[in-house]
């Protein structure tokens, strides 16, 4: 099989890039698992919080926001559902909340009474100050993944599940990539392998970035008796000790943990679930009779915690799309547009706001100067 571009990984990063590229090129997506979104992308808290992260993250989020709000034709349902976010602080965290408010557009102060009116189980003896951010949305990740997957096929691309990339070599300007079932070749390969980005990069002789996968845990518990929770906002404190949000009639609780973990099928640890529930119970009157479901996923960070998007400095025709950390879902349209712009039209992607931050995104920032080829 031959294509113009091979994308490795069918999480939101690989699928969104393949979908965007497939409008202009013949694309094949190779995914190890039996279905798309099995790892981090299917395990997220599924939120769009435009104020989150560095300037790079906010700019990439903004570049793709219109497509999340109004998905392209072929996405069969809306992707976003309004949620809002309530930032809550105890007396030790009030200064942190003030600092956050002063640096965040769209976050308005909210009195403790107003906060309790929104979320009646907030503990008044804990709550000292609060702020409300309106432009926060739930993301329907299933609609997103299915929309990308169908769109790739409608644009003539191929999605090959159950294809683990095991080996690669470059001959006559083509990458020849081996999976147990097939040999696939293309002049350009995009590494969107999430937590496996570095080991996959090794197969291509690409530079070592030093990604760190970090486990994050979530659990759902029953909603408090007699309360209608569906319209409650996402609840988080500035220290990010925990967060809580309504999730299909239950409450989703996360300890917002970050545990360094080798790339794997991440599983939740009971201790992390217990810590999340304990932290949430400091701020909220939640009685947990039992945990209904729990899961964990990996958020993968480059050493400086910024995205890594761009051609490699060692391996020809090899492109990185990795290091999305805790914001890979909300940034997918923006990151895909930037990546596609560089691949198809480089050296500028055509998205000037992101191009202006290129030095903070390019893989070249991790390459020793003496080993570089032109990126």
Ligand X SMILES: Cc1cc2nc3c(=O)[nH]c(=O)nc-3n(C[C@H](O)[C@H](O)[C@H](O)COP(=O)(O)OP(=O)(O)OC[C@H]3O[C@@H](n4cnc5c(N)ncnc54)[C@H](O)[C@@H]3O)c2cc1C
Interface contacts to ligand X, rule CB under 6 A: 8-14, 30-33, 38-41, 43-47, 164-165, 192-196, 200, 216, 218, 297, 299, 324-330
Angle between helices 332-345 and 12-21 (to 10 degrees): 50
| Choice between 71 and 127, CB closer to ligand X | 71
Tell me the closest approach of the beta carbon of residue 31 to ligand X, in angstroms: 5
Report how far apart, in Å, the C-alpha atoms of 355 and of each of 130, 163, 308, 310, 358 are: 36, 33, 13, 11, 5
Read off the tokens for 190: 């995009």
Of the pair 107, 165, the CB lying nearest ligand X is at 165
Nearer to ligand X, 110 or 195 (CB): 195
Measured distance CA(223)–CA(16) in Å, rounded: 34
3-state secondary structure of 364: helix
11 secondary structure, DSSP code = S
Considering the complex, state which of residue 132 and residue 204 has its C-beta at the smaller distance from ligand X: 204
* Token pair 């391996």: residue: 315
* Minimum distance of ligand X from residue 42's CB (angstroms): 7
Whole-number minimum distance, CB 105 to ligand X, in Å?
Answer: 19
Question: Three-state SS string across 168-207, please?
Answer: EEEECCEEEEECCCCEEEECEEEECCHHHHHHHHHHCCCC
**Least separation, in Å, of the C-beta of 183 and ligand X?**
14
* 47 versus 110: smaller Cβ distance to ligand X: 47
CB of 159 to ligand X, least distance (A): 12
Comparing CB distances to ligand X, the nearer of 6 and 127 is: 6
Strand 250-254 and strand 243-247: the pairing is antiparallel
Distance between CA atoms of 196 and 281, rounded to whole angstroms?
35
Sequence-distant (≥ 6) Cβ neighbours of residue 66 within 8 angstroms = none
CB of 277 to ligand X, least distance (A): 15
Question: What is the SS3 assignment for 149?
Answer: helix
CB of 137 to ligand X, least distance (A): 10
Concatenate the DSSP letters of all residues of 142-173 into one string. HHHHHHHHHHHHHTT-EEETT----EEEEETT
Q: How far is the CB of 124 from ligand X (least distance, A)?
A: 28
Query: CB-wise, 31 or 351, nearer to ligand X?
Result: 31
Minimum distance from CB of 91 to ligand X (Å)? 28
List the structure tokens of 351: 């998205």
In the complex with ligand X, the residue whose CB is nearer, 276 or 317, is 276
Radius of gyration of the chain (CA): 21
- Which residues, listed in sequence order, are joined to residue 247 by a DSSP beta bridge? 250
CB nearer to ligand X: give 90 or 212: 212
Whole-Å CA distances, 214 to 192, 219, 238, 245, 370: 17, 17, 20, 21, 31
């Amino acid at each position: 099989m031959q294509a113009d571009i091979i994308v490795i990984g069918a999480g939101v990063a690989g699928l969104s890039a393949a979908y965007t590229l497939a409008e202009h090129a013949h694309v094949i997506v190779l995914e190890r698992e039996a279905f798309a979104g099995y790892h981090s992308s299917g395990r997220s808290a599924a939120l769009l919080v435009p104020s989150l992260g560095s300037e790079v993250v906010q700019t990439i989020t903004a570049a793709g926001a219109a497509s999340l709000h109004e998905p392209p034709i072929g996405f069969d349902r809306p992707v976003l559902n309004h949620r809002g976010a309530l930032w809550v602080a105890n007396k030790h965290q009030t200064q942190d909340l003030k600092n956050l408010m002063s640096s965040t557009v769209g976050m308005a102060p909210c009195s403790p009474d107003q906060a309790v009116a929104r979320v009646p189980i907030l503990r008044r003896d804990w709550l000292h100050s609060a702020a409300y951010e309106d432009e926060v949305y739930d993301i329907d990740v299933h609609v997103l993944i299915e929309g990308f997957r169908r769109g790739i096929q409608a644009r003539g691309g191929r999605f090959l599940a159950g294809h683990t990339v095991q080996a690669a070599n470059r001959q006559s300007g083509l990458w020849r990539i081996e999976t147990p079932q097939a040999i696939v070749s293309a002049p350009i390969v995009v590494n969107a392998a999430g937590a496996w980005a570095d080991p996959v990069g090794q197969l291509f002789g690409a530079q070592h970035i030093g990604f760190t996968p970090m486990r994050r845990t979530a659990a759902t518990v029953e909603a408090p008796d007699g309360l209608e929770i569906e319209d409650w906002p996402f609840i988080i404190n500035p220290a990010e000790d925990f967060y809580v949000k309504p999730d299909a009639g239950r409450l989703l609780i996360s300890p917002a943990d970050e545990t360094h973990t080798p790339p794997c099928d991440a599983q939740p640890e009971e201790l992390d679930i217990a810590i999340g529930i304990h932290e949430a119970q400091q701020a909220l009157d939640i009685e947990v009779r039992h945990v209904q479901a729990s899961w964990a996923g990996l958020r993968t960070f480059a050493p400086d915690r910024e995205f890594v998007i761009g051609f490699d400095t060692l391996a020809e025709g090899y492109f990185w799309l990795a290091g999305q950390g805790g914001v890979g879902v909300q940034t997918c349209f923006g990151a895909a547009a930037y990546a596609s712009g560089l691949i198809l039209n480089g050296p500028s992607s055509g998205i000037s706001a992101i191009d202006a931050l290129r030095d903070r995104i390019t893989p070249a920032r991790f390459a020793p100067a003496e080993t570089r080829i032109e990126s």
